[in-house]
Amino acid sequence: MNTRPLISGLSDNAVTVTRVADRQWHALEDDLVVGRGHAEHRPDGRLFVSIDAWNDAAFDRLAEAMVAELPEPLYTVVDEADVELTAGWRRAGFTVRRREWEYVVPTDPRVTGLEAVLPPPGVTIVPAGQADESLLRALDRAIRDEVEETVGWQSMPAEVIPRPAGDTVVHPSKYAVAATPHRYLGLIRVVTVKRPRIGLIAVRTGEQRRGIARALLAHALGTLYGSGSTAAWTEVHESNHAASALFDGIGARPMSSNLELVR
């Protein structure tokens, strides 16, 4: 456990930053916890940090201590509407890497207009939990290579950036796929923790513009609706105009925007 006193500048008391666990810090003033910092590795191997502090001084002291003790690059995600938090990370040397819009997506097929949507001839939808894992991973690698050759992985959601092992399929049972008898053409991943979230939808380049993405979305949203969920959520990178058009076209509404920052 490491302790370092740092003067807050806002009172006569010192803000003391203490590393209370492997990747956890507390800021104390007069023996009162006035801020907490945390760091964790995401599945893709990147190190994300977060701070919850009562005031700017506690935030700045925590950020200073964490930056000094953690290896760079460091990442964090903030709600763009939280101007104060964004400013705090900027003071700590972080810059905006990407912006994502968060959408709320209706699941009722009568609302989305996906009620009659079917996959193109010769293509079937394999429900989540039933996909062949080897074919799924082959599809993942193929799509990853195609994206890297075009817009690059910086346009993908944070959790699907390649991990050190080069594999982005973390939980195979969460994926539904579009399939022919010989190979998989596209995939969609839905994860439910507190609420259902569409983490990824992608189709191989040579199979796009055939309605496969809409068929995958119709299947996933229909399954959620059948299980009682009236809405799902997803994030879309601001430069991904095709994804924005897909979700706009089924009645999804942008609710907020998130910034990913990096130092």
Phi, psi of 117 (to 5 degrees): -75, 130
pLDDT at 136 (0 to 100): 93
pLDDT at 165 (0 to 100): 57
- Give 3-state DSSP helix, strand, coil % of the chain, rounded to 5: 30, 35, 35
pLDDT at 118 (0 to 100): 93
Tokens of 22: 């492997």
**Alpha-helical segments (H) within 150-196:** none
Task: Enumerate domains of the chain plus CATH numbers.
Answer: 3-99 (3.40.630.30), 102-258 (3.40.630.30)
Query: CA–CA distance from 243 to each of 18, 38, 138, 190, 250 (Å)?
Result: 44, 32, 23, 16, 11
pLDDT at 166 (0 to 100): 58
Tokens of 23: 């990747």
Contact 54, 47 (CB under 8 A): no
Considering the entire predicted model, what is its pTM?
A: 0.73
- Radius of gyration in angstroms for the set of CA atoms belonging to the chain, rounded to a whole number: 22
Question: What does the alpha-carbon distance between residue 218 and residue 34 come to, in Å, rounded to a whole number?
Answer: 47
Which DSSP symbol is given to 116? T
- Residue 212 φ/ψ region, left for φ over 0, alpha for ψ in the -120 to 50 degree band, beta for the rest: alpha
Question: What does the alpha-carbon distance between residue 196 and residue 105 come to, in Å, rounded to a whole number?
Answer: 10
Question: What does the alpha-carbon distance between residue 246 and residue 113 come to, in Å, rounded to a whole number?
Answer: 12
Q: Is the dihedral of CA 160, 43, 132, 196 positive or negative?
A: negative
pLDDT in tens, the chain (263 residues): 444 444 444 444 588 888 988 889 999 988 889 999 999 987 667 899 999 999 999 999 999 999 999 999 999 999 999 999 999 999 999 999 889 899 999 999 999 999 999 999 999 999 999 999 999 999 988 888 887 776 555 555 544 545 555 566 668 889 999 999 989 999 999 988 788 999 888 899 999 999 999 999 999 999 999 999 999 999 888 888 888 899 999 999 999 999 999 99
pLDDT at 152 (0 to 100): 54
Question: What does the alpha-carbon distance between residue 44 and residue 144 come to, in Å, rounded to a whole number?
Answer: 14
pLDDT at 7 (0 to 100): 42
Instruction: For residue 24, give the nearest of 56, 65, 78, 73 by alpha carbon.
Output: 65
Contact 17, 61 (CB under 8 A): yes
Strands 196-203 and 231-237: parallel
As a whole number of Å, the end-to-end CA separation of the chain is: 25
Question: What does the alpha-carbon distance between residue 63 and residue 52 come to, in Å, rounded to a whole number?
Answer: 10
